[in-house]
Structure 1
């Protein structure tokens, strides 16, 4: 239930921001990235009882430009997997859904504006963002700024 709640919160934040049409893969990338951030940041297992406004600062810092979000996701999945092994039970269904979302985000590439023109191997003007320069990028790399901006607009 925690994953579905995280996904619901992310969906509402993105819909409220009206940044991108709901029917697009870009919207899904933003929703899933934000839902993963929400779900994985719930270290105390209290997701269903949170108040969205009280958590926005933490989620915004996790999705901020320059934060090692991908490494943070890997670390959280390792920790949650270890906790499941210590309990001796099978993997939590919420964790399975989160892993499926991560699998899609990490392995799906979208053709989008180059949001990091200074990064090696990417075309673009290092002095500024060229909205016409498009590159194939992992879905989570597009979803991070969408989720971050949606929270700013909330």
Structure 2
């Protein structure tokens, strides 16, 4: 992250470091949800994909800027609906990031939270992970082992989003 001379925890300036508290809190929530689901090792790329997808969902759904003061449980239904299989999550992320960038540009203040969110989105889009090819498995056939069956390179967000959704369900 670039240091631009604007500093403090609230973005007000004054010579102190600007801390991206909203993003860090969203990432913490996502990490805790995934860890509680115990779906994959926290050191895996799959875990990172799930954490980043969930963190983006948490961060971008906080339209009132009140994330740090809100109980996580009260937001679970919103996050479930946003991460559901039939929802255009990636379009929603692009739209919300564009809106946030426009707001940040209009304010003229640094947006370290937005910079981290954009970096997470870039990683989720540009990184591909090797995952089971669920379209290649005939219906009614179970893939029994992790290393069995055909695999396909998949954008990280397409793997992370359902993992995040499942973690919310398991919470």
Taking structure 2 as the reference length, the TM-score comes to: 0.81
- The match for 2:11 is none
Q: Which whole-Å CA distance do the structure 2 matches of 1:128 and 1:35 have between them?
A: 34
Q: Which has the larger radius of gyration?
A: 2
Deviating above 3 A after TM superposition, structure 1's stretches of 4 or more consecutive aligned residues are: 125-131
- The match for 2:125 is 106
Q: Is the contact between residue 114 and residue 129 of structure 1 (CA under 8 Å) also seen in structure 2?
A: no
> What CA RMSD, in Å, does the superposition of the two structures yield over aligned residues?
1.5
Q: Which whole-Å CA distance do the structure 2 matches of 1:129 and 1:36 have between them?
A: 34
Tell me how far 1:130 sits from its aligned partner.
Answer: 6.0
Q: Is the contact between residue 81 and residue 91 of structure 1 (CA under 8 Å) also seen in structure 2?
A: no
Alignment map for 1:21-36 (pairs within 5 Å) = 21-36=41-56
Alignment map for 1:49-88 (pairs within 5 Å) = 49-87=69-107
SS at match of 1:48: helix
- The match for 1:133 is 150
- The match for 2:32 is 12
Aligned residue pairs, count: 146
Tell me how far 1:91 sits from its aligned partner.
Answer: 4.1
Structure 1: runs of 5+ lacking an equivalent: 118-123
Deviations 1:11-42 (A, max 9, x none): 00000000001110000000010000000111
Taking structure 1 as the reference length, the TM-score comes to: 0.89
